[in-house]
Amino acid sequence: MRSSAPTRRSPCTMRCEPVVTAFFERRTCSVQYIVADPASRECAIIDPVLDYDEKSGSIATESADALLHDIAERQLHVAWILDTHPHADHVSAACYLRERTGAPTGIGERIVEVQALWKTIYNLPDTFRADGSQWDRLFADGDRFAIGGLEAEVLFSPGHTLASVAYVIGDAAFIHDTLLMPDFGTARCDFPGGDAHQLWRSIERILALPDDTRLFTGHDYMPNGRAPAWESTVAEQRARNVHLQCAPTEKDFVALRQARDAALPLPKLILHALQLNIAGGQLPTPESNGRRYLKIPLGAFAMAQWD
């Protein structure tokens, strides 16, 4: 499913209003984005998905290729391939897209802490580099970079993971798994390195942006069977987010989040996806028979809820 979000704020010039095209990946309820500067035709890809079927172990590139087809159709040039955080529910297509486009990849600088944490969980060999060198750039809070004539700013926003960042590009902010759509609420914080207190403070930073800032989330779970949605505004989230309405203080929010998280099963792809995503989406090296293998640590989360 593809959808373009038109520019909306008349007081601003086109150069500060990116054209945002969303691609909903239904298997993992993930949203991929192409963020384009209409003047220069440069764009960034945010949170691309590499298709993976855990039952057969099959990898496919249909979702990522849909991005490439749209980019070619609109004659855009890819300036950046960005992940907001190391995903636990889908495999990143950043490595595949870098190979196809030559564009640099980026993620938040605290990915190195996530790498060190999961290197221990997976018992990875010393040859695995937990230094972030799998990406071309590691972003710190407040870093700025260009997408054509657009200026992008990095907003460190931990809580869901300890390495999460949001990208503020003109009047749009790509806020990954902090705030979901207002009728669904907020993101879980029970993954290794997650923290509900930090998520509350990250949400406060995001909601301090101008009221009409367009907010684009990383997932949508279609409550009550509605159609997929991914765009809101700061004002809409402040007024209508179901978790913020019933938990208006940090203490209330942390209690709500921790109670909800305790009842949630882990994402079905967490142990599959993270060993690839801490390597920037790079697939394992083929073994002597030419086949690649994933490593699943048995009992790593023995106390987790089951479906």
First to last CA, the chain: 28
Tens of pLDDT, residue by residue over 184-236, are 999 999 999 999 999 999 999 999 999 999 999 999 999 999 999 999 999 99
If one counts every other C-beta atom within 10 angstroms of the C-beta of residue 35, the result is 27
- Residue 16 in this model has a pLDDT that exceeds 90: no
Q: Specify the pLDDT at position 235.
A: 98
The amino acid occupying position 289 is N
Q: What confidence tens digit (pLDDT) does each residue in 274-288 have?
A: 999 999 999 999 999
Name the pLDDT band for 7 (thresholds 50, 70, 90).
Answer: very low
The whole-number average pLDDT for the span 252-275 is 96
What pLDDT, on the 0 to 100 scale, is given for residue 279?
98
Integer Cα distance of 76 and 12 in angstroms: 23
State the Cα–Cα distance between residues 253 and 286, nearest whole angstrom.
45
Question: How far apart are the C-alpha atoms of 118 and 275, rounded to whole Å?
Answer: 8
The domain limits of the chain are 17-277
What was the pLDDT predicted at 2?
67
CA distance 280 to 273: 11
272: tokens are 């599959």
How far from 62 is each of 48, 56, 67, 149, CA to CA, in Å? Answer: 11, 16, 9, 30
- For 113-144, the pLDDT digits (tens) are 999 999 999 999 999 999 999 999 999 999 99
To which residue do tokens 């599959």 refer? 272
Residue 3 has pLDDT above 90, yes or no: no
Q: What is the mean pLDDT of the chain?
A: 94
Burial 166-176, CB ≥16 within 10 A → b, else e: bbbbbbbbbbb
Averaged pLDDT, 23-52: 97
CATH number of 17-277: 3.60.15.10
pLDDT, position 291? 96
Q: What is the pLDDT of residue 4?
A: 59
Q: Please report which confidence band the pLDDT of residue 1 belongs to, taking 50, 70 and 90 as the band edges.
A: low
Predicted pLDDT at 15? 37
Cα gap 107→127, rounded to integer Å = 21
pLDDT for the residue numbered 307: 86
